[in-house]
Structures are given as structure tokens and as C-alpha cells.
Structure 1
Amino acid sequence: MDVKKFIYKLTELNFTISSCESFTGGFFCSSLTNIPGSSSVVAGALVTYMTRTKIEIAEISNQLIQQVGVVSKEVAIEMAKFSARKFKTNIGIGFTGVAGPTVLDEKQVGEFYIGYWINGKMFSTHKIAKDLSREELKSFAINTALNEIYAKI
């Protein structure tokens, strides 16, 4: 997905976007803010790389994490909801996954979930991308998210 085209579409719709990122480490927001004019649509981002910060900062329930795992669609959606609520945006997105080098909570390296909150509608994406470097995995996740959002707005 062409990020310029994505930013243009958000601008055209007068939509705003925010993110709560884990394994992507802020790369989603960084990708958007590389585009001139993105300040009119990108409200901000929060990087919650550690489980503890998801609980303490992003207000993800420890009970939920214990029940479904930190790498799950439920946690990704909660991250997206938190982002949209805190930044007061039309679109919130949450990324959680395993960049490696080891398995986490029985989730394999390259497995990730993206949660979406678009004007109150929630959904998620689950992908497993094997044999990618950390940087390639982040890029794949960002592109997946851009395409999913663009298709829904």
C-alpha cells in the first residue's frame, strides 16, 4: 500500500488515526509521519513493548492477558480501542506479535495480530509470516494494516 495514498484518503475523509504498538516498535506511526501533511491525520502513538507496559500504560487487563495471552486478537483489539479512546481518533490500531528469536506463549516467531477500531467497529487480522527478518516482519505487518484499513474506510 502506498502510504501517501493512505494519508490522502484519511485526509479526504477527515479521519484521524492513532496506534498502540508492541512488536512494531512505533514503525507504523513512523511510516505515516514520513509523509508531508500527515500531522493533520496522525494523532499519535504509544509503544508498549513489554507486557507490563501493556497493563500499566495501555490499561490492558492482566486477567485478559492471563486468559488469552499477550499475543492474541483480544489484546490487539483492546490496544486499538485504548489508542482510539486516548487519542480521540476515528481509527485506532493495535499490534502485538512475536518478532523472535524465540516462541512466546506458544506463539511462533513471525506470528502477529492486528486489532482495529474504526468508528466503533472492531475487527482483527491474524498472520504468520515465517522466515522474515525482524525488519521484514514489521514491514509486512504495517502493509497488512494499511491495506485492511484502506479497504474498510
Structure 2
Amino acid sequence: MRELVEKLIEKKLTIASCESFTVGLFGAGLGSVSGASNTYKGTLVTYQTVIKTDVLKVDHQLVKEYGVVSETIAKEMCLKGKDYFNSDICVSFTGNAGPEAMENKPVGLIYIGINYLGKIVTYEYRLVGSRAMIQKQAVHIAEKKLLDMLG
């Protein structure tokens, strides 16, 4: 995470995250780097659906139609999160880290959304491993995607 924080500071960009199944792991990684306060705005952990809809203001109808484990909700989370934090970048994580299927979606199905200066990109992965391994893999993927975007 050190390289990511350094690049964000160098480019004078702010970052925030909205996390579900990662339960703040991405934000904790950013916050563990000395100097992160120059770029990192915060993390909203939206573990329960009601927090996604009532606090982050993700549309109830979208949740009903697509489920929380979906590309649509990952996109909405990083869109609403960027506004919530007034940040240049917002990363979102939604998915199923297990131990059993959720919304008829398999363990390991995860979505990452990145809103970078208003341009939203989403990624879908089917990860394997324990709950903790799936969470760590997702955070690592997001970190790499952001580093690639930042050049």
C-alpha cells in the first residue's frame, strides 16, 4: 500500500472506499501507511444491505433487482461513495467471501468498483480460498488496478 499512497500524494489525489465483504481491510491498509492522511479520506463499511441503502443511498430497487453481490451495486457504491467522501477516487468492494452461497451466488464471486475522477470501472472475479484469503486477494487486486491507473 505504501506505493499507492505515495503515488496518490504525488498526484495530489484523495481516495476513499466503501467496503462490504472486505470489512474495512482496504482502508486499514491505506491507513497503516505513514503520511496516508495527506490522501486518504476514509472508509464506509457497508456490511449490511440496510447500510448500503440508508447511509450510502444505494437505490433499494437496484438491490432488489440485481442483489448486493453484483456489478451494478459495486458501481453504485463507488459512485455514491465518491460523493459521500468528496474524494477524487472511491473504491468499492461487494461480494461473497463465504462460507456459503448468498443470493444464489457462489462463494468467491466478488466485484470491485473504482470511480477515478468520475470514470467508473468495475471488475468481476471468482476467487478461491478461505474467507480471509478472498478478502486479502480482493484488496490486493484493487491496489494493483489503482497503481496501473495512476501510472
| Residue of structure 2 equivalent to 1:116 | 114
| Residue of structure 1 equivalent to 2:90 | 92
> Structure 2: which 5+ residue stretches go unaligned?
none
> Structure 1: which 5+ residue stretches go unaligned?
none
Amino acid of the residue matched to residue 141 of structure 1?
A: A
Q: Does the aligned pair in 2 maintain the 1:77–1:93 contact within 8 Å? A: no
- CA deviation after TM superposition for structure 1 residue 112, in Å: 0.3
CA RMSD of aligned residues (A): 0.8
Q: Does the aligned pair in 2 maintain the 1:6–1:150 contact within 8 Å? A: yes
Q: Does the aligned pair in 2 maintain the 1:21–1:94 contact within 8 Å? A: yes
| Residue of structure 1 equivalent to 2:73 | 75
Count of aligned pairs between the two proteins:
150
Amino acid of the residue matched to residue 59 of structure 2?
A: S
| Residue of structure 2 equivalent to 1:147 | 144
Q: Does the aligned pair in 2 maintain the 1:111–1:127 contact within 8 Å? A: yes
Q: Does the aligned pair in 2 maintain the 1:114–1:126 contact within 8 Å? A: yes
Counterpart secondary structure, 1:100: coil
TM-score for the superposition, normalised by structure 2? 0.97
Give the alignment partner of residue 57 of structure 2, picking from 56, 59, 70: 59
- CA deviation after TM superposition for structure 1 residue 82, in Å: 1.4
Per-residue deviation, residues 17-69 of structure 1 (Å, max 9, x unmatched): 00110000000000011100001000011001011111111111110011111
TM-score for the superposition, normalised by structure 1? 0.95
Counterpart secondary structure, 1:141: helix
Amino acid of the residue matched to residue 110 of structure 1?
A: G
- CA deviation after TM superposition for structure 1 residue 104, in Å: 0.9
| Residue of structure 2 equivalent to 1:41 | 39
